């Protein structure tokens, strides 16, 4: 049954002025559309009040638990006591929801975060229809969808539309400062090329199926455990690792994926989820039919949620690994560890028990000396002008970078910061020249790695 639902908390719209070079017309308002929200990231885009966006948000989705969960999260943001939002969700839940969105064109920016099996097709058709798109990662999960995504980027350029993915990890302060220190030759030196066995760059992320979001236990849809719909580990959360490698190690440099990337090897392996764990995460009584082929010993689900790739980018050997487990250790959560090996120092981000499961940045010099320490302290003063309050704390291997709490705004807040950046590109038309080719290079890396791990290609 088709239905329209006009939800509460309607407030006045904000008028926005755009420059002549902007992607939106001067008198055009920013109006969001949320398409088939099946992942909580869709709601996090709206967790905070955003400047220059109408409060009315049109939602097009199939009727079911995914859209219901999304609306409940947005309602929770609207009715919280501290800093409530004022979104009015106008919802269409007919089976022809996508065609209805295209025909009605109620907004100019489509937000996508959900089932990844059709996401790339939705992106391409939305661009073809004249919408700007802000898409959650991953925007492509295999080679076929990578080719479709390339076509979408090409058409977006022709139509002067902005297609962009949500890279929240650039806004995690330890990653930001790791990049900043890597750009200071006196401190870091030059990035080592390394070898496949001892790469110049190593990053690993560990995520968990059972987790808390906005203070509540997250209920995941059953399709989240089907890699044909969600994607495998490296092709999903691993997108962040590829993005950080490109962004931190080769800032502002355009990547030509056809010549600047060479693969060493890639592999994939499963995580195992018991029936009781599956029930705790999905609130369902059993495994759905589409997952039966992946069930072993009747009560254990095999999910290919882990992956690793070893490749070269501009001749630098890089190793990236993405893993998934059931639940995090007590008082911890998703984690990410990384190291950039420089000729003068190694820059580590660690997030283990020693760090109380919060990310900490370390500088570990290759050849410690009094002269080197003077250079580090001198260069620190320049960074302190940009990031007031940061400092260095001496330890037995070098320094820990101490970071004021004001910079630690958390993963959920980073969605608002990405959206603000995106809105700037819409208003001013000033997206850096490297962003689009590097997004294409990023998804080439992840999807090619999957094909390599499956033995579908040779490099």
Distances 219 to 69, 209, 228, 330 between C-alpha atoms, Å: 8, 9, 20, 19
Q: How does DSSP assign 343-408, residue by residue? A: SSEEEEEE-STTTTTS-EEEEEESS--HHHHHHHHHHHHHHHHHSTT-EEEE-SSSEEEE--GGG-
User: 298 versus 331: which is more confidently predicted?
Assistant: 298
How many distinct helices (H) and strands (E) make up the chain?
A: 14, 19
Q: How far apart are CA 373 and CA 402, in angstroms?
A: 16
* Predicted local distance difference test score (pLDDT) of residue 215: 78
Read off the pTM.
Answer: 0.92
The token pair at 260 is 């600047």
At 222-273, the pLDDT tens digits run 999 999 999 999 999 999 999 999 999 999 999 999 999 999 999 999 999 9
At 390-437, the pLDDT tens digits run 999 999 999 999 999 999 998 889 999 999 999 999 988 999 999 999
Q: How crowded is residue 26: how many other Cβ atoms within 10 Å of its Cβ? A: 10
The second-level CATH assignment, the architecture, of 4-165 is 3-Layer(aba) Sandwich (3.40)
pLDDT of 1 strictly over 60? no
C-beta separation of 161 from 130 below 8 A: yes
Range(s) of the chain covered by CATH 3.30.360: 170-413
pLDDT of 451 strictly over 90? yes
- Report whether CATH 3.40.1000 matches the domain 170-413: no
Range(s) of the chain covered by CATH 3.40.50.720: 4-165
From 27-31, 61-65, 238-242, 392-396, the region with the lowest mean pLDDT: 27-31
The mean pLDDT of 380-399, rounded to a whole number, is 97
Q: Name the packing angle between helices 435-453 and 143-159 (round to 10°).
A: 170
Could you give the percent of the chain with pLDDT greater than 70?
94
The token pair at 316 is 């630098």
């Amino acid at each position: 049954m088709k239905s329209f639902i006009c939800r509460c908390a309607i407030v006045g719209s904000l008028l926005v002025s755009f420059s002549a070079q902007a992607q939106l017309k001067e008198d055009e308002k920013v109006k969001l559309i949320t398409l088939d929200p099946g992942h909580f990231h869709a709601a996090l885009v709206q967790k905070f009040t955003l400047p220059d966006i109408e409060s009315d948000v049109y939602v097009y989705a199939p009727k079911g638990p995914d859209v219901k969960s999304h609306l409940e999260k947005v309602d929770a943001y609207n009715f919280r006591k501290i800093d409530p939002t004022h979104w009015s969700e106008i919802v269409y839940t007919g089976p022809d929801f996508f065609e209805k969105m295209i025909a009605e064109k109620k907004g100019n920016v489509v937000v996508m975060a959900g089932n990844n099996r059709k996401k790339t097709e939705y992106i391409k058709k939305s661009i073809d229809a004249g919408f700007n798109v802000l898409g959650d990662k991953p925007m492509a999960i295999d080679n076929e969808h990578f080719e479709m995504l390339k076509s979408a980027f090409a058409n977006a350029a022709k139509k002067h539309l902005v297609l962009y993915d949500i890279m929240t990890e650039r806004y995690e302060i330890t990653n930001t400062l790791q990049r900043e220190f890597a750009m200071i030759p006196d401190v870091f030196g030059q990035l080592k090329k390394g070898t496949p066995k001892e790469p110049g760059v190593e990053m690993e992320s560990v995520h968990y199926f059972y987790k808390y979001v906005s203070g509540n236990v997250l209920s995941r849809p059953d399709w989240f455990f089907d890699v044909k719909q969600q994607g495998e580990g490296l092709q999903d959360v691993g997108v962040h690792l590829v993005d950080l490698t490109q962004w931190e190690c080769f800032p502002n440099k355009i990547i030509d994926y056809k010549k600047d990337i060479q693969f060493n090897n890639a592999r994939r392996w499963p995580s195992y989820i018991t029936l009781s764990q599956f029930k705790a995460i999905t609130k369902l009584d059993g495994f759905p039919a589409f997952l039966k082929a992946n069930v072993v010993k009747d009560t254990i689900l095999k999910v290919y949620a882990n992956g690793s790739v070893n490749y070269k980018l501009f001749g630098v050997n890089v190793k990236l690994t993405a893993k998934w487990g059931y639940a995090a250790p007590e008082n911890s959560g998703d984690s990410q560890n990384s190291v950039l090996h420089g000729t003068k120092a190694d820059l580590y981000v660690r997030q283990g028990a020693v760090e109380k499961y919060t990310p900490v940045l370390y500088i570990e010099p290759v050849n410690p000396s009094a002269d080197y320490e003077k250079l580090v302290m001198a260069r620190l003063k320049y960074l302190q002008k940009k990031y007031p309050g940061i400092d260095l704390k001496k330890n037995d291997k070098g320094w820990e970078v101490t970071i004021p709490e004001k910079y630690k705004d958390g993963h959920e807040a980073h969605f608002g910061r990405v959206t603000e950046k995106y809105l700037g590109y819409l208003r001013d038309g000033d997206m850096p020249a490297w962003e689009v080719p590097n997004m294409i290079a990023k998804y080439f890396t992840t999807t090619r790695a999957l094909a390599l791990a499956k033995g579908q290609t040779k490099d």
